[in-house]
């Protein structure tokens, strides 16, 4: 009975087998990750609208009242 690996040496067969096992494991992990992301209940949690694709809400956080409070409290510690 001839197989696809019949012309390979023993160590080459081991390398090919290990590569196949790794490939199957990587496909399994990728598919479970994608499944978990697609079926996660956290996808339905509403959030604030994002004004920018690049920065998100970061600019709003920098100009918010709470960041000014932190700035004031740190300046009081320096005195």
DSSP state of 28: H
Distance between CA atoms of residues 31 and 22, nearest Å: 14
The two structure tokens encoding residue 45: 């949690």
pLDDT score recorded for residue 57: 77
Average confidence score pLDDT of the chain: 78
| Strand ranges, E, within 1-79 | none
Distance between CA atoms of residues 48 and 33, nearest Å: 26
User: pLDDT by residue (tens digit) across 32-63?
Assistant: 999 998 998 888 888 777 788 887 777 777 77
Name the nearest CA neighbour of 47 among 39, 57, 38: 57
> How do the domains of the chain map onto residue ranges?
1-45, 50-79
């Amino acid at each position: 009975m001839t197989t696809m690996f019949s012309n390979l040496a023993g160590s080459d067969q081991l390398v090919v087998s290990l590569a196949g096992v790794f490939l199957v494991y990587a496909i399994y992990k990728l598919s479970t990750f994608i499944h978990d992301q697609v079926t996660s209940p956290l996808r339905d949690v509403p959030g604030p609208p994002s004004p920018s694709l690049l920065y998100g809400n970061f600019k709003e956080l920098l100009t918010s009242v709470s960041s000014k409070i932190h700035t004031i409290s740190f300046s009081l510690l320096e005195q």
